[in-house]
């Protein structure tokens, strides 16, 4: 048989290599040695490390290890550039972004080849996915720059942003960070990952050639220490990080109390759910994309297959057949499916995890097929016979390893899907759109793909729930992550809290036993676990009542009650609105009594504060069914429904001042959006809130939706911030205690809002709208394909 006839018989692909010449020529033009790009110039290379091609181990270039002085120089340049850059009109800034987008398109093949050489990903992916999406991001954000003042009228840029990115999508992660930052008027210092700095350096040259003003984009290369120098630099106003959850937590702790803006895009262990009525062949193709795209080194990889038991055997058999046809090899070959992993250390890490999983009982299947002898290659693997506790099910592997489990009912699928500390993405396959759309909101993840996977677009936000981080990249949410309210800089320090009243020397002297307010937990009044009370004093130091001294146990009970009440989050927005209106109405009936109570505690007339509290409840009742999502039209045959969802259980610690409004202004937006709350009212003047129990009870608020624990704000805040059952934390109090709350929040990476010792005048109408609504919610994008 001649060769052509043989190929017809076997249908084998021949080699189709992409030439590396142009990329090599670019590297040569820099002498294969790079300094940083700071203030529009290349610095002289310092101490360097090698960047290697993981497909063959060849050294590509020497990269400079960024020092603290390098970071300093970059911050100086970015600071100097900030004023003129942010003062440009949006149109002018947009034109630069447009010029960058055009230049990336023009040199897209060079970028793609260089990316593949540096990272090991198949050229098919860098050419057809990464680089086109990079260009799309700059185009999209050119438009945001121009429309910024209309769409975000009261917002200003942060200033200088430090951006740290991983190696799995080197240029794409750069685009996700730099495009919105620049559109908003920030200047940036970006550190690429140590394994993959080259396309960021090529990008620097593109910026230079596009005439971007010097200092607007600075690229500082290096490893973890360089990243740390960026995170801890006092001249940086916002940190945007994409990488592992472990480093994300370290960055959250390092930035606690600094007032720096922070967004974290972290790891994942995303479920890929296949129901028995799915189009199985499509689901298999989707799965190939979900777990073997980029060798599985994808934060949102569908790495946990959950397949309905009735089709499990058939599905797994088909999957194995499909795995046998995946081609592993030279990533510069255009007909390769799976390229090289990023570095030998990554291959070792995956092998170690696999060994642990196997020791715990996992069975590993790898299809036969050739794999290059040298370079960082691994065969695609399918892992079965695992329990939810198996290392391979629980840990992010970040490699070409799929773990399969089965489920019987939709409820079980949801429970398994959510049985992870992560919450980045999920995929649902079913031909029954009702079922798919029933499941999507139940999955705790920032992105849900229905009958598809790995859809991305610049107009659609991307980001995680839970320990996958917070903040979004892309679309309106992504823009707002680079903006802050203009009025924030006018905030003054809050007046020092009055010294805590001295306790009566003899606890028996306090009298007023009839006035001891209890806690309010799960819809019931309950005695404090400590069995101690604290006196509440009037401004003259006279005891006017007592409240319970809440402790760790009371907080635990309250969190448990709040978790049990999470059905509130799926209660119709209309119903939540009615209940908040009712609460307002019932408070209004008793306005004189509440005003008198404020006067008794503070000495000030409480009439206006009660009226404002009623008005604030009305305001958020009004928002409950209006602060909602959007439908995006990405350039695919799909719509993406951006759904606004509550965070879950919120710990809210009210400020010392304004005993009633201070709490109402914070719990009203949280409740309106479907969160349940553990509230710690003002330590000094808690009686306005303990009086509220009866109002709550008569207003049809379901038990456990609002729980109230009285006592020392700071120690209760610490317990709440450390509690894994609390999803978000708002704290109004001193700078020191705010730092403590932010640091303690790393246990499960809660979203936090703290007042940092500043005076937020909660009576101001600016707090009647999206300022707190946006902080009480997170956006989930549900991608729904169409086409007959
Ligand atoms: P990594 O956390 O080890 O490193 C990420 C970046 O942080 C690198 O540039 C690194 O040099 C730097 N760094 C390391 N230690 C640091 C420190 N202490 N302070 C500051 N910077 C530090 O992650 P990685 O191995 O490069 O990337 C893989 C991880 O990234 C995975 O967990 C993956 O899920 C995640 N990821 C998330 C997204 C997302 O959008 N959510 C996207 C891509 C990757």
Q: DSSP string of 516-575?
A: EE-EEETTEEE--TT--EEEEE-TTS-EEEEEE---HHHHHHHHHHHHHTGGGGGS-HHH
Query: Residue 609: which of 599, 621, 619 has the closest Cα?
Result: 599
Q: What is the pLDDT of residues 272-286, one digit of tens each?
A: 999 999 999 999 999
Nearest residue (by CA) to ligand 1, atom 8, is 193
Whether the model clears a pTM of 0.85, i.e. scores above it, the answer is yes
Judge if the beta carbon of residue 164 lies within 6 A of ligand 1. Answer: yes
Does residue 500 have a pLDDT over 60?
no
Per-residue pLDDT tens over the stretch 586-617: 999 999 999 999 999 999 999 999 999 999 99
Separation of 165 CA from ligand 1 center, angstroms?
Answer: 6
Q: How far is the CA of 168 from the centre of ligand 1 (A)?
A: 9
Q: Which CATH superfamily is domain 21-266 in?
A: Aldehyde Dehydrogenase; Chain A, domain 1 (3.40.605.10)
φ and ψ at 148, to 5 degrees?
A: -55, -50
Ligand 1 pocket test, candidate residues 133, 247, 350, 467, most atoms within 8 A of CB: 247
What band does 138 get if pLDDT is binned at 50, 70 and 90? very high
- Give the number of the atom of ligand 1 that is nearest the alpha carbon of residue 169: 43
At 130, is the pLDDT very low, low, confident or very high (cuts 50, 70, 90)?
very high
Token pair, residue 320, equals 């194995």
**Which residue's CA is minimally distant from atom 21 of ligand 1?**
227
Atom of ligand 1 nearest to the CA of 176: 40
CA dist 339 and 371 (Å) reads: 10
Q: Can you tell me the mean pLDDT for 693-713?
A: 97
Percentage of the chain with pLDDT > 90? 95
Residue tagged active-site, from 265, 396, 477, 609 = 265
Partnered with residue 535 across adjacent β-strands are 546
- Angle of CA points 135, 138, 144, to nearest 5°: 150
What are 405's strand-pairing partners?
306
Ligand 1 atom 23, closest CA: 243
Question: Is the Cβ atom of 247 under 6 angstroms away from ligand 1?
Answer: yes
Three-class secondary structure assignment of 254-307:
HHCCCCCEEEEECCCCCEEEECCCCCHHHHHHHHHHHHHHHHHCCCCCCCEEEE
Kindly give the distance from the C-alpha atom of residue 227 to the centroid of ligand 1, in angstroms, as a whole number: 10
Residue 348 has pLDDT above 90, yes or no: yes
207 catalytic per annotation: no
* Nearest in space to 501 (alpha carbons), one of 532, 531, 545: 545
Q: DSSP character for 758?
A: B
Tokens of 188: 């940036």
Give 11's pLDDT tier (boundaries 50, 70, 90): confident
Question: What pLDDT shows up at residue 159?
Answer: 98
Q: Is the CB of 478 under 6 A from ligand 1?
A: no
- What is the best residue among 166, 191, 346, 460 to mutate for testing ligand 1's pocket, by most ligand atoms within 8 Å of CB? 166
Whether residue 549 is predicted with pLDDT greater than 60 in this model: the reply is yes
Tell me how far the alpha carbon of residue 166 lies from the centroid of ligand 1, in angstroms: 4
644 in ligand 1 pocket by Cβ < 6 Å? no
Give residue 299 CA to ligand 1 midpoint distance, Å.
10
Taking alpha carbons only, the member of 414, 410, 477, 488 closest to residue 444 is 414
Q: Is the pLDDT of residue 421 over 90?
A: yes
Calpha distance 539→109 (Å, rounded): 73
- Long-range contacts: 418-421, Cβ < 8 Å, 24+? 418/442, 418/443, 418/444, 419/388, 420/269, 420/271, 420/304, 420/394, 420/466, 421/245, 421/466, 421/467, 421/748
Q: Measuring from atom 42 of ligand 1, which residue has the nearest CA?
A: 299
d(CA 199, CA 416): 39
Residue 172 has pLDDT above 90, yes or no: yes
Give yes or no for residue 222 CB within 6 A of ligand 1: no
**Which of 607, 645, 628, 615 lies closest to 727, judged by CA?**
645
How many Å apart are CA 177 and CA 165, to the nearest integer? 9
Residue entry with tokens 């429904």: 641
Question: Quick one: which of 399, 456, 402, 392 has its CA closest to 424?
Answer: 456
Query: Using an 8 Å Cβ cutoff, are 262 and 251 in contact?
Result: yes
* DSSP β-ladder status, 304-308 and 401-407: parallel
Question: What is the rounded average pLDDT for all residues in the chain?
Answer: 96
Give ∠ CA 328-332-337 in degrees, rounded to 5.
30
Pair 570, 563: CB distance under 8 Å:
no
Give distance in angstroms: CA of 674 to centre of ligand 1: 32
- Mean pLDDT computed over 431-450: 98
Q: Does the beta carbon of 312 sit less than 6 angstroms from any atom of ligand 1?
A: no
Ligand 1 pocket check for 396: Cβ under 6 Å: yes
From the CA of 230, give the closest atom in ligand 1. Answer: 20
SS3 250: helix
CB 510 within 8 A of CB 549: no
393 touches ligand 1 (CB under 6 Å): no
Residue 98 has pLDDT above 90, yes or no: yes
Backbone φ and ψ for 7, nearest 5 degrees, come out as: -65, -40
Q: How far is the CA of 243 from the centre of ligand 1 (A)?
A: 2
Q: Is 191 in the pocket of ligand 1 (CB under 6 A)?
A: yes
**Closest by alpha carbon to 726, among 664, 648, 672?**
648
Query: Is residue 125 lining ligand 1, measured as CB closer than 6 Å?
Result: no
Answer whether 65 contacts ligand 1 (Cβ < 6 A).
Answer: no
Beta bridge partners of 646: 777
Q: Tell me, what's the pLDDT at 193?
A: 98
Q: What is the DSSP letter of 473?
A: B
Distance from Cα 248 to the centre of ligand 1, integer Å? 8
C-alpha to C-alpha distances, 512 to 533, 537, 545, 546, nearest whole angstrom: 11, 12, 6, 7
Q: Residue 182: is its pLDDT beyond 90?
A: yes
Select from 457, 376, 443 the least CA-distant residue to 176. 457
The mean pLDDT of 624-635, rounded to a whole number, is 96
**Which residues pair with residue 525 across a beta bridge?**
520
Asked whether this chain's domains 270-463 and 502-778 adopt the same fold, the reply is no
What's the Cα-to-Cα distance from 77 to each of 189, 212, 252, 262, 559, rounded to whole Å?
Answer: 9, 13, 25, 21, 47
Element (H, E) at 646: strand 638-646
For 357-393, give the DSSP string. HHHTT-EEEE------SSSS----EEEES--TTSHHH
Top mutation candidate among 199, 243, 462, 471 for ligand 1, by most atoms within 8 Å of CB: 243
Q: Quick one: pLDDT band at residue 8, thresholds 50, 70, 90?
A: confident
**196 CB within 6 A, ligand 1:** no
pLDDT in tens, 760-788: 999 999 999 999 999 999 999 999 999 87
Q: List C-alpha distances in Å: 655 to 331, 663, 732, 785.
A: 57, 8, 5, 47
What is the spatial distance between Cα 263 and Cα 464, in angstroms, rounded to a whole number? Answer: 10
pLDDT grade, residue 319 (50/70/90)? very high
**CA gap 645, 570 in Å, rounded:** 9
Identify the residue with better confidence: 515 or 242.
242
User: If 0-12 CB within 10 Å is exposed, 13-18 middle and 19+ buried, where does residue 769 land?
Assistant: middle
Residue 265, ligand 1, Cβ within 6 A: yes
Residue % of the chain over a pLDDT of 70: 97
197 lines ligand 1 (CB under 6 A): no
CATH 3.20.20.10 correct for 502-778: no
- Give the pLDDT mean for 92-112: 98
Report the Cα 27 to chain-centroid distance in Å: 35
Contact 380, 400 (CB under 8 A): yes
Distance 467 CA to ligand 1 centre (A): 14
299 noted as active-site residue: yes
720: left (phi over 0), alpha (psi -120 to 50) or beta: alpha
Q: What is the pLDDT of residue 188?
A: 98
Question: What number does the ligand 1 atom closest to the CA of 250 have?
Answer: 18
Question: With 0-12 CB in 10 A as exposed, 13-18 as middle and 19+ as buried, what is 235?
Answer: middle
Q: For 640-671, how does the pLDDT look when each residue is reduced to its tens digit (9 = 90+)?
A: 999 999 999 999 999 999 999 999 999 999 99
Judge contact between 45 and 34, C-beta under 8 A.
yes
The catalytic position among 299, 609, 645, 742 is 299
Q: Which atom of ligand 1 is nearest to the CA of 396?
A: 32
Nearest CA to ligand 1 atom 26: 166
Average pLDDT over residues 46-50: 98
What are the tokens at 730?
A: 């708002």
Q: Is the CB of 329 under 6 A from ligand 1?
A: no
**How far apart are the CA of 263 and the centre of ligand 1, in A?**
13
168 lines ligand 1 (CB under 6 A): yes
Is pLDDT above 70 for 515?
no
Q: Which of 292, 283, 453, 301 is nearest to 369 (CA)?
A: 292
Contacts with 787 (C-beta within 8 Å, 6 or more apart), sequence order: 637
Q: Among 244, 249, 473, 781, say which to mutate for ligand 1: greatest number of ligand atoms within 8 Å of CB.
A: 244
Residue 501 has pLDDT above 60, yes or no: no
> What is the predicted pLDDT for the residue at 2?
73
What distance in angstroms lies between residue 712's CA and the mean position of ligand 1's atoms?
Answer: 38
198 CA distance to ligand 1 middle (Å) = 17
Superfamily grouping for domain 270-463: Aldehyde Dehydrogenase; Chain A, domain 2 (3.40.309.10)
| Phi/psi of residue 348, nearest 5 degrees | -60, -45
The full DSSP string for 674-698 is T-EEEEE--SS-THHHHTHHHHHHT
| Domain residue ranges in the chain | 21-266, 270-463, 502-778
């Amino acid at each position: 048989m001649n060769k052509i006839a043989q190929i017809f018989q076997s249908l084998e692909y021949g080699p189709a290599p992409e030439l590396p010449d142009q990329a090599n020529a670019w590297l040569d033009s820099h002498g294969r040695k790079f300094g940083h790009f700071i203030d529009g110039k290349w610095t002289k290379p310092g101490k360097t490390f090698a960047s290697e091609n993981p497909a063959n181990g060849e050294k590509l270039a020497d990269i400079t290890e960024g020092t603290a002085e390098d970071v300093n120089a970059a911050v100086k340049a970015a600071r100097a550039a900030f004023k003129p850059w942010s003062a440009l009109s949006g149109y002018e800034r947009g034109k630069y972004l447009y010029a960058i987008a055009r230049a990336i398109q023009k040199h897209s093949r060079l970028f793609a080849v260089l990316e593949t050489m540096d990272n090991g990903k198949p050229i098919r992916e860098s050419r057809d996915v990464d680089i086109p999406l990079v260009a799309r991001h700059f185009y999209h954000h050119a438009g945001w720059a121009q429309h910024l003042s209309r769409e975000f009228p009261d917002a200003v840029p942060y200033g200088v942003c430090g951006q740290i990115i991983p190696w799995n999508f080197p240029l794409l992660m750069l685009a996700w960070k730099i495009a919105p930052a620049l559109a908003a008027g920030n200047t940036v210092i970006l550190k690429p990952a140590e394994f993959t700095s080259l396309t960021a350096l090529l990008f620097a040259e593109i910026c230079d050639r596009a005439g971007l003003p010097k200092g607007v984009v600075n690229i500082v290369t290096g490893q973890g220490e360089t990243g740390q120098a960026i995170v801890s630099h006092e001249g940086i106003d916002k940190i945007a990080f994409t990488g592992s959850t472990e480093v994300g937590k370290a960055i959250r702790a390092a930035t606690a109390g600094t007032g720096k803006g922070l967004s974290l895009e972290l790891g994942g262990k995303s479920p890929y759910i296949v129901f028995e009525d799915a189009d199985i062949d499509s689901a298999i193709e989707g799965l190939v994309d979900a777990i073997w795209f980029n060798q599985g080194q994808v934060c949102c990889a569908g790495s946990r297959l959950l397949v309905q038991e009735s089709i499990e055997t058939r599905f797994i058999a088909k999957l194995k057949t499909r795995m046998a046809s995946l081609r592993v090899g030279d990533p510069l070959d255009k007909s390769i499916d799976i390229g090289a992993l990023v570095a030998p250390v990554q291959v070792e890490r995956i092998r170690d995890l696999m060994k642990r999983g196997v020791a715990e009982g996992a069975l590993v299947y790898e299809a036969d097929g050739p794999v290059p002898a040298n370079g960082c290659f691994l065969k695609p693997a399918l892992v079965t016979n695992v329990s939810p506790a198996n290392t391979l099910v629980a840990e992010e592997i970040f490699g070409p390893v799929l773990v399969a489990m089965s489920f019987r009912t939709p409820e079980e699928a949801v429970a398994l899907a959510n049985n992870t500390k992560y919450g980045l993405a999920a995929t649902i396959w079913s031909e029954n759109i009702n079922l798919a759309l029933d499941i999507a909101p139940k999955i705790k993840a920032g992105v849900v793909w229905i009958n598809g996977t790995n859809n991305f677009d610049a107009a659609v936000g991307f980001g995680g729930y839970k320990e996958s981080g917070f903040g979004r990249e892309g679309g309106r949410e992504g823009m707002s992550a680079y903006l802050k309210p203009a009025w924030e800089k006018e905030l003054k320090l809050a007046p020092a809290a009055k010294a805590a009243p001295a306790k009566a020397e003899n606890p028996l002297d306090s009298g007023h036993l009839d006035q001891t307010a209890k806690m309010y937990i799960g819809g019931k009044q309950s005695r404090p676990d400590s069995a101690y009370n604290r006196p509440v004093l009037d401004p003259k130091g006279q005891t006017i009542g007592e409240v319970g001294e809440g402790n760790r146990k009371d907080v635990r009970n309250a969190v448990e009650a709040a978790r049990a009440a999470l059905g509130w989050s799926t209660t119709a927005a209309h119903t939540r609105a009615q209940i908040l209106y009712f609460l307002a109405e019932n408070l209004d009936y008793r306005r004189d009594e509440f005003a008198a109570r404020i006067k008794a505690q503070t000495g000030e007339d409480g009439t206006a504060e009660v009226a404002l509290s009623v008005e604030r409840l009305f305001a958020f009742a009004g928002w409950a069914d209006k602060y909602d999502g959007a439908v995006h039209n990405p350039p695919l045959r799909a719509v993406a429904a951006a759904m606004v969802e509550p965070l879950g259980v919120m710990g809210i610690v009210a400020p010392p001042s304004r005993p009633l409004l201070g709490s109402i202004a914070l719990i009203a937006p949280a409740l309106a959006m479907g969160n349940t709350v553990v509230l710690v009212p003002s330590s000094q003047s808690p009686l306005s809130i303990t009086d509220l129990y009866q109002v709550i009870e008569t207003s049809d608020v379901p038990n456990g939706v609002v729980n109230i624990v009285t006592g020392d704000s700071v120690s209760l805040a610490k317990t709440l911030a450390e509690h894994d059952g609390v999803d978000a934390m708002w704290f109004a109090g001193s700078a020191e205690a705010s730092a403590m709350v932010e640091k303690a929040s790393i246990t499960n990476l809660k979203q936090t809002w703290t007042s940092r010792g500043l005076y937020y005048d909660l009576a101001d109408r600016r707090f009647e709208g999206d300022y707190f609504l946006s902080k009480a919610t997170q956006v989930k994008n549900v991608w729904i394909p169409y086409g007959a």
